[in-house]
């Protein structure tokens, strides 16, 4: 991955856990206070999407990203993203539903939220519980293909 993948989502959506997996790292999991540039990723604090005055920082930070992953926690699908927010970014935005094992009944609600944000399919459903990393390989493969395609252009 040449450019980094920026990961956005509310507090407790699984951003740092997913970032550890994408970077093949084992960084301690604690509340992210600042933007953290990893090997392949940009980790953003949950407070940036939970506070409208911080949106401009997310949009500016995304200039250094090849893609933006917007996470929705299926076990707590609170609406934090404004309608059409995905259209604020110049790079592709990918919808990721996390913690799919905790509240499968919320799947349709999460998909409706992703559509409302302005993200089109494919959506990636992942679970990082007990290091199973369900769905992560499909997401990684998609990102690699996307970056290979953009490099050919």
Percent of the chain's residues with pLDDT above 90 = 61
In the predicted model, what is the mean pLDDT of residues 75-103?
Answer: 93
Whether residue 1 is predicted with pLDDT greater than 90 in this model: the reply is no
The maximal CA–CA distance of the chain, rounded, in angstroms, is: 40
CB 19 within 8 A of CB 41: yes
Q: What is the CATH number of the domain that holds 136?
A: 3.40.50.300
Specify the length of the chain in residues. 153
pLDDT digit string (tens) for 90-136?
Answer: 999 999 999 999 999 999 999 999 999 999 999 999 998 766 788 88
Per the structure, the count of domains in the chain is: 1
* CB-based contact 128:14 (threshold 8 Å): yes
Residue from 106, 33, 93 nearest 66 by CA: 93
According to the 3-state scheme, what is the secondary structure of 26-91?
CCCCCCCCCCEECCCEEECCCHHHHCHHHHHHHHHHHHHEEEEEEEEECCCCCCCCCCCHHHHCCC
For the chain, what percent of residues have pLDDT higher than 70? 90
pTM over 0.85: yes
| Domain boundaries, position 91 | 4-152
Q: How many CB atoms lie within 10 A of CB 142?
A: 14
């Amino acid at each position: 991955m040449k450019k980094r993948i920026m990961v956005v989502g509310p507090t407790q959506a699984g951003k740092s856990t997913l970032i550890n997996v994408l970077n093949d790292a084992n960084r301690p999991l604690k509340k992210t206070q600042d933007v953290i540039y990893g090997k392949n990723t940009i980790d953003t604090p949950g407070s940036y999407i939970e506070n409208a005055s911080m949106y401009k920082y997310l949009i500016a930070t995304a200039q250094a990203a090849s893609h933006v992953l917007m996470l929705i926690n299926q076990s707590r699908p609170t609406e934090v993203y404004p309608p059409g927010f995905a259209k604020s970014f110049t790079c592709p935005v990918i919808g990721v539903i996390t913690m799919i094992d905790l509240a499968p009944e919320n799947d349709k609600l999460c998909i409706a939220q992703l559509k409302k944000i302005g993200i089109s399919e494919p959506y990636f459903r992942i679970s990082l519980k007990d290091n199973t990393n369900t769905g992560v390989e499909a997401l990684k493969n998609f990102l690699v293909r996307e970056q290979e395609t953009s490099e050919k252009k």
